[in-house]
Amino acid sequence: EARFADDIEAILRLKRERNAVILAHNYQTPEIFHCISDIRGDSLALAREAQNTEASVIVMAGVHFMAETAKLMNPEKTVLIPDERAGCSLAESITAENIRALKRANPGVPVVTYVNSSAAVKAETDVCCTSGNAKRVVETVAREWNTSRIIMIPDEFLARNIQNETGIEMITWPGHCEVHERFTPQEIRQYRRMHQGVIVLAHPECPPEVVAEADYAGSTAGMLDFVADRHPEKVLLVTECSMSDNLAALFPATQFVRPCNLCPHMKRITLPAIRHALETMTQQVEIPQEHFLPARRSVERMLAI
Ligand code: 13P
Ligand code: SF4
């Protein structure tokens, strides 16, 4: 669209001048996702790719914890977040002191932390996980620690969904994603009545009652793979709004039923904000030194699994 052209042109030029790459999460709006980003994916893919890039500057078109993870993997590189207020209700739900209290109450129980968390919280963590590898991480930790109980924080619903899949007992924290907690089973049943034959894909940050109504639950990359592999005629993505917009452009033969909830944090990242970040080289993400090594270790353990 013409209204985007000026910013897109400036961003593409600035990327070359600064030797920068733009990493975009699947919830970014289509003009960011399709027109200016170099790497696109779920939280796991962005964490992995941040590790591999040769560029000297990384712009995170995503939320703050994703930029922190990129910085943890690339301390020598400049990592920019185009809007520092792009937070996450899950990351905000828990502090390092909260985890220390959980560990004191459950001595010897390993801590698996969703990457949607601050570096300070990751520093208190044994192994991180994302929605894309949570089952594998939890099963590996249970085997290696020889335990059937895990502290899995801060997403209560992700932990319950993984408990249902694995049978491993989770000690949880009452953190929720403000986008996914709003979906209800009644809503899903109503869409199934309205759209005969619709395939329902839900994100595991949804409440377990919602996941129980779905045909498949998985990360945003899992949803993309599902559509790419099976080419469903009609699909309902129980997740953030831009996900359907981005996939609809990639898979024109699939019809996307579009009830969705917006993430206000993801939506703070705009073309003008990205352009401004590259022009001014702000805001640069820094990790407090006392958290750096233990937080990095918890992400590295995840990536090794
Ligand atoms: P994934 O893309 O890893 O599935 O995560 C979803 C999310 O809510 C990230 O903020
Ligand atoms: Fe956080 Fe939910 Fe937004 Fe993802 S969609 S950034 S989990 S609030």
CATH number for the domain spanning 237: value is 3.40.50.10800
Ligand lying nearest the CA atom of residue 175: 2
Which residue type, as a one-letter code, is found at position 189? R
Report residue 2's pLDDT band, with 50, 70 and 90 as the boundaries.
Answer: confident
Mutate to test the pocket of ligand 2, among 177, 181, 237 (most ligand atoms within 8 A of CB): 177
Region 93-105: mean pLDDT is 98
Assess if residue 68 is contained within a domain.
yes
Region 278-304: mean pLDDT is 97
Buried b (16+ CB within 10 A) or exposed e, 295-305: bbbbbebbeee
Ligand 2 atom index nearest CA of 265: 3
Predicted pLDDT of residue 142: 98
Q: What is the pTM of this model?
A: 0.97
Give per-residue pLDDT as tens, 166-181.
999 999 999 999 999 9
Under the phi-then-psi rule, with left for phi > 0, alpha for psi from -120 to 50, and beta for the rest, what region is 189?
A: alpha
Same domain, 111 and 58: no
Assess if residue 78 is contained within a domain.
yes
Ligand 1 atom index nearest CA of 43: 3
Assess whether pLDDT exceeds 90 at residue 244.
Answer: yes
Assess whether pLDDT exceeds 90 at residue 88.
Answer: yes
CA separation, residue 124 to residues 65, 82, 96, 153, 213 (Å): 15, 27, 7, 11, 35
Ligand 1 atom index nearest CA of 25: 2
Query: What is the distance between the alpha carbons of residues 133 and 155, in angstroms, rounded to a whole number?
Result: 14
Mutate to test the pocket of ligand 2, among 89, 118, 240 (most ligand atoms within 8 A of CB): 89
Domain boundary residue among 177, 197, 232? 177
Same domain, 100 and 146: yes
Q: Domain range spanning residue 201?
A: 180-257
Question: Is there a binding annotation on residue 204?
Answer: yes
Assess if residue 192 is contained within a domain.
yes
Assess if residue 114 is contained within a domain.
yes
Pairing of strands 255-257, 57-61: unpaired
Same domain, 225 and 251: yes
Question: Is there a binding annotation on residue 118?
Answer: no
Predicted pLDDT of residue 40: 97
Same domain, 123 and 193: no
Region 265-286: mean pLDDT is 98
Same domain, 205 and 250: yes
Same domain, 171 and 242: no
- Ligand 2: residues with CB < 6 A are 63, 88-90, 116, 177-179, 205, 240, 263, 265-266
Measured in degrees and rounded to the nearest 5, phi and psi for residue 99 equal: -70, -40
Same domain, 97 and 68: no
Report residue 224's pLDDT band, with 50, 70 and 90 as the boundaries.
Answer: very high
Domain boundary residue among 150, 177, 204? 177
C-alpha 226 – ligand 1 centre gap (Å) = 16
Assess if residue 291 is contained within a domain.
no
CA 118 to chain centre: 13
Assess whether pLDDT exceeds 90 at residue 125.
Answer: yes
Ligand 2 atom index nearest CA of 90: 1
Same domain, 44 and 107: no
Residue nearest to atom 7 of ligand 2 (CA): 177
Same domain, 21 and 53: yes
Ligand 2 atom index nearest CA of 65: 6
Predicted pLDDT of residue 79: 97
Assess if residue 296 is contained within a domain.
no
Element housing 153 (H / E): strand 149-153
Same domain, 102 and 140: yes
Assess if residue 217 is contained within a domain.
yes
Same domain, 38 and 79: yes
Domain boundary residue among 127, 142, 177? 177
Assess if residue 301 is contained within a domain.
no
C-alpha 151 – ligand 2 centre gap (Å) = 21
Instruction: Specify the 3-state DSSP secondary structure of 114.
Output: strand
Q: How many domains does the chain have?
A: 3
Residue nearest to atom 2 of ligand 1 (CA): 42
